[in-house]
Amino acid sequence: MTISSSLNAGVAGLNANANRLATISDNIANSQTFGYKRAQADFYSMVIRGDTTSNYTAGGVRSTNMRLIDERGPLIATNNATDLAIDGRGFLLVTSMESLSDNSSSYDISLATTGSFRPDQNGIMRTAAGQVLMGWPANADGQVPEFPRDSTAGLTPVIFNANQYVANPTTSVTLGLNLPATGTTFGSTFAPKDYPVEYFGNLGTSETLNFNFTPTIPATSGDPPSNEWTLEVTDTASGGAVIGVYTLTFDNSQADGGKLASVTTVSGGAYDPATGMISSTVGGGSIDIFIGKPLTSNGLTQLSDTFAPVSVSKDGSPVASLISVKVDTGGNLYAVYDQGFTRLIYKLPVADVPNPNGLISLNNQTYTVSPDSGPYYLWDAGSGPTGSVVGFAREESTTDIAQELTALITTQRAYSSNAKVIQTVDEMLQETTNIKR
């Protein structure tokens, strides 16, 4: 009886619109939830084939739900450096605090498009809901090793201690000095000159490299200027021992007068004319000392009659305390120290899947892969199809309140209409029952 199919179609309509109402209510409830992706209900007709020439059998409607994870909400600025969002396609990788408590080397990885990460009492970068940020740790030299891009191997929780102290030893010194050209002439009274340069050892202690310049003075008045100096380097961390002796010869031609012509290593670390560096071994490590390439104006020169420091610099610093962290668009997480330097400590990869809408939704705006989504691949932020990582930012909900309220009105009307169909069918069945009376 076709009247029965009308009743079934009305019931199916009620169920479908109730399902749509559930997605609308969820969207509205999460209109202020950062990173929320709106859900959508789609309707599909059901066709039941029968004798369509004389009787029509109503099939009704069915509904399916889908979360539109590939939609991106607008980014808003915050005042926290580790409020992170993806400017475009891709996901940050997170794990749960429960996974950390298992004390295993493997973690349950989920995906998120945004998060407000802050260090807890143990320095673990996590959200208030317990999502822990994951990244590749950098080595002590600030380099990130190559890790597999199709698995989570190498990913570790991002942890830093705001009270930690680190040494920042000196690894290079630039020695820009002018030696007096008159010092290598006959009768010169220029005495050997010491020039000390402070550097910082492996334990953050202050040490000194002393550079002693001694001119080679001609023996007789008829001899031309030698344009030659002996450089002796001593190190306080080595007990004041001599760590290198070098013979410096300067050019006196019209084109290159005063420029370093050659360096002869008498003892100590070798001089490399291609880089202008002396590789010196000091107490506890090594330091590269830049004195200049041959026939260039950088480094050591011999001009006029004045001994003058021109450009002397070094890297390193005393023991430093970590004060904050920052993230660049490439997903590099840097520690910022109170001595004015930064150091790369983690790299945050950005994951991408072939079908984001096929991901399985979890609590707290996180997702996990499924056969429908396909496997993830880890990209450097801003490369391939992925967007860059943005600090001081959160992604807002993709819910459009005006659109949802409009859909709420139409859903309510559709639900009422289907209820009216059921009411009408009920009345018709009542009339059929009354025929017997």
Helix (H, G, I), strand (E, B) or coil at 45: strand
Share of residues in the chain with pLDDT > 70 (%): 97
Q: What is the mean pLDDT of residues 194-221?
A: 93
263-279 mean pLDDT: 96
Task: Tell how far CA 327 is from the center of its chain.
Answer: 5
Tell me the C-alpha distance between 6 and 93, whole Å.
50
- Does the structure show a pLDDT above 60 at 1? no
pLDDT at residue 25, rounded to an integer: 96
Report how far residue 289's alpha carbon sits from residue 314's, in angstroms, rounded to the nearest whole number: 9
Residue bearing tokens 């450089």: 231
| Domain range 170-315, CATH architecture | Sandwich (2.60)
Helices (H), 59-197: 97-100
Q: Is the pLDDT of residue 50 over 80?
A: no
Non-local CB neighbours of 430 within 8 Å, separated by 6+ positions: none
Domain ranges of the chain: 2-68+398-434, 75-161+346-395, 170-315
User: Would the pLDDT of 26 be above 80?
Assistant: yes
Give dist(CA 339, CA 342) in Å, integer. 9
Chain centroid to CA 117: how far?
Answer: 13
What are the pLDDT digits (tens) for 292-307?
A: 999 998 999 999 989 9
d(CA 97, CA 103): 11
- Provide the token pair at 381: 């932020």
**What was the pLDDT predicted at 46?**
84
Amino acid, single-letter form, for residue 269: G
Residue 157 and residue 142: Cα distance in Å, rounded?
Answer: 17
Each as own residue / partner, the long-range contacts of residues 216-224 (CB below 8 Å, 24 or more positions apart, any chain) are 216/184, 217/183, 217/184, 217/185, 217/186, 217/187, 217/188, 218/184, 218/185, 218/186, 219/186, 220/186, 221/186, 221/187, 222/186, 223/186
- H helices within 60-209, ranges in order? 97-100
Higher local confidence (pLDDT), 233 or 152: 233
CA–CA distance, 291 with 279 (Å, rounded to integer): 11
How many whole angstroms separate alpha carbon 94 and alpha carbon 367?
A: 10
What does pTM read for this prediction?
A: 0.77
